[in-house]
Structure 1
């Protein structure tokens, strides 16, 4: 027997009215969580990435990008806007952002002067929607990051001296330059390189550098955050 004073029709509708509100709350929570995870993922990459819209407003800039965008980089962030240091770069960057957002075009830009230039990859995200965005991937300044080099050294049991030689080679130094930096004979450096190659199974310095180049680009957990 029905004992409530509320009419049956109204009582049956109550859960249905609450459902949309609950679903909307769940969607907002899911979007917030997705944004949180995305930020964490971007912060772990040893590539500078900047998320922005076609107008150049920065939506997210990870730690690696903040470190890369110093006084020597052709790009800079002023407030929440990404800008070029040189006027000649402003047009190509603006055109690339607009083409990415409106037409879904990807491109590789080389910005800066001949003496101090840098490559930037422009990647379209969610084009033709209200929340369209563009991702900029900045060029790394070194072949292999500190964490990847340490992993490689631990994986193959390199000595501290061999690790330093490996770091120098990954930075583009020649064996002769490494010998000068360490104050040892070049024959010593060549012996250390031979030992690194033997431990890692690399047939040459080129193969050794290739092994470094394909390592996951992750930032060290001991990094110092930039405010």
Structure 2
């Protein structure tokens, strides 16, 4: 008589497991697409196993990293060695690190995270920094939550992008006093006692991509 404990899984059971694994991978891919952080999954040679929409949008012509033929490449020669050393150490030794790549105003921080626990094949996760305090969708949610006017919403987005009130006024073609009044209104509606607190509230909003990209 066959021992039930050592019996091989039935074909139907194996099919169900494969289907469940495929569905889980699909869900995970959808989750990553919604995040407003650029995320890439690589092996130690720089081959891209997965990249989400935020990562592809972040890596424009000025970004210190680029995708070429399914491979992640550093644009600057000085970044090549640090990048590949970080990938190799992450996959082979389980080391995580923070890389500072690029030069001048185009510098960018990249977090390198090993994914080597309880897996048959190790991989490396790269998380790219956001270029703005919060995404357009998060700012829009904030504006709707507190009943901001369209003009106030534009000021809010400009502040979250790092612009000073004077530059906001100049870009919108209004007086600086108008922008200051709008900022006071935003603070009053959101309960933020200062611009710093207002920006803090924006910074902790969930990092989700805009629905416009879906």
- TM-score, normalisation: structure 1: 0.88
Give the alignment of 1:48-67 within 5 angstroms. 48-67=38-57
> Unaligned stretches of 5+ in structure 2?
none
Cα distance, 1:20 vs structure 2: 3.0
Say which one has the larger Rg. Answer: 1
Tell me, in whole angstroms, the C-alpha distance in 2 between the residues paired with 1:23 and 1:94: 41
Give the Cα–Cα distance (whole angstroms) in 2 for the partners of residues 153 and 135 of structure 1. Answer: 33
Distance 1:221 1:86 in 2: 34
Residue ranges of structure 1 left out of the alignment (5+ in a row)? 1-8
2:60 is aligned with 1:70: yes
Q: Match of 1:24, SS? A: helix
What do residues 73-103 of structure 1 show as CA deviations (whole Å, max 9, x unaligned)?
Answer: 1111111111111111111111111111122
Aligned length: 212
Match of 2:197 in 1: 207
After TM superposition, what 4+ stretches of structure 1 lie above 6 angstroms from structure 2? Answer: none
| Most deviating of 196-205 and 110-119 | 110-119
Q: TM-score, normalised by structure 2?
A: 0.93
Any residues of structure 2 matched to 1:88-99 within 5 Å, and which? 88-99=78-89
* Cα distance in structure 2, aligned partners of 1:38 and 1:192: 40
Measure, in 2, the Cα distance between the counterparts of 1:193 and 1:19.
64
Per the alignment, in what secondary structure is the counterpart of residue 197 of structure 1?
A: helix
Which residue, out of 189, 203, 206, partners 1:216?
A: 206
RMSD, matched Cα: 1.9
Deviates more, 1:85-94 or 1:120-129: 120-129
Give the distance between the partners of 2:103 and 2:120, measured in 1 at CA. 35
Are 1:170 and 2:160 counterparts?
yes
Deviation at 1:128, TM superposition (A): 7.7
Once the two structures are TM-superposed, the CA of residue 18 in structure 1 deviates from its matched residue by: 8.0
2 CA distance for matches of 1:185 and 1:47? Answer: 35
